[in-house]
Homo-oligomer: A and B are copies of this chain.
Amino acid sequence: GFARIDTHRALRTGDPEVVYAAGKTTEQVAAIVKHLTSANPNRPILVTRADEAARAAVRAACPDGHLLEDATGRCVALGPLPEIPRGRVAVVCAGTSDLPVAAEATFTARVFGAAVEQITDVGVAGIHRILAARPALDRADAVVVVAGMDGALPSVVGGLTGVPIVAVPTSVGYGAAFGGLAALLTMLNSCAPGIAVVNIDNGFGAGLYGARIARQS
């Protein structure tokens, strides 16, 4: 087999099994999903970075399963997904172009058990927009903030809430954005406390992290 599929990790952490579809053929993705469902029919599965073809292959592989899908976030999930959410995550997104990363975070947080509230297009260049979103921030147990270009949004959100913030830099931008490096450095150097950072474009990691915080509440 082309991969040592780790069915024990899921049990150990209490989380779904995750398949990262980027760089895998649709055949490989479908075969892994099939293997996982037959090995552990009661364990949910999340497939990320799955384009339309990969998602179709998953759909075909699991004709009868409970299937949740998000085209913007390029994700699909199978199996007995969490029914009663544990805790609440707010996913805050700076600009329209950051939406795919935000959608990946939202989808992942849900599959990992959280209730999610998504707030979009609240970049700091129009500060009234994020100020208007304070009620949603106040309701959350964890906040995921997604921003490209200058990556300034988490610093502002950090001044508005006392719950942990997971900052996700995106590769949106050009020139001296250097593929997300500018936003990444901004977030690591935030003048507001209570911010931790995941890799550029890693909506999956942020959603999982937010859900893990929220479920402690």
Spell out A's residues near B (CB within 8 Å): 2-4, 6, 8-9, 12-15, 18, 22-24, 87, 94-97, 99, 120-127, 129, 131, 141, 149-152, 155-156, 158-164, 166, 169, 171-202, 204-206, 208-209, 212-214, 216-217
Contacts and interface: CB of A to CB of B under 8 A. Distances in A.
A206 B180 CA distance: 22
Contact of A198 (B120, B197, B217): B197
Contact of A126 (B96, B159, B199): B159
A93 to B, nearest CB: 10
B199 A159 contact: no
B188 A186 contact: no
Contact of A200 (B122, B175, B186): B175
Given A14-B162, A124-B155, A150-B152, A188 B194 contact: no
6 contacts: A3-B96, A15-B162, A125-B193, A149-B189, A176-B184, A196-B198
Contacts of A199: 174-177, 188-189
Contacts of A181: 176, 185
Contact of A190 (B126, B150, B156, B160): B150
A210 to B, nearest CB: 9
B200 A197 contact: no
Given A159-B127, A191-B149, A205-B193, A121 B13 contact: no
Given A2-B96, A156-B156, A212-B194, A187 B150 contact: yes
B192 A185 contact: no
Contacts of A9: 125-126, 159
A158 to B, nearest CB: 6
B4 A191 contact: no
Contacts of A122: 4
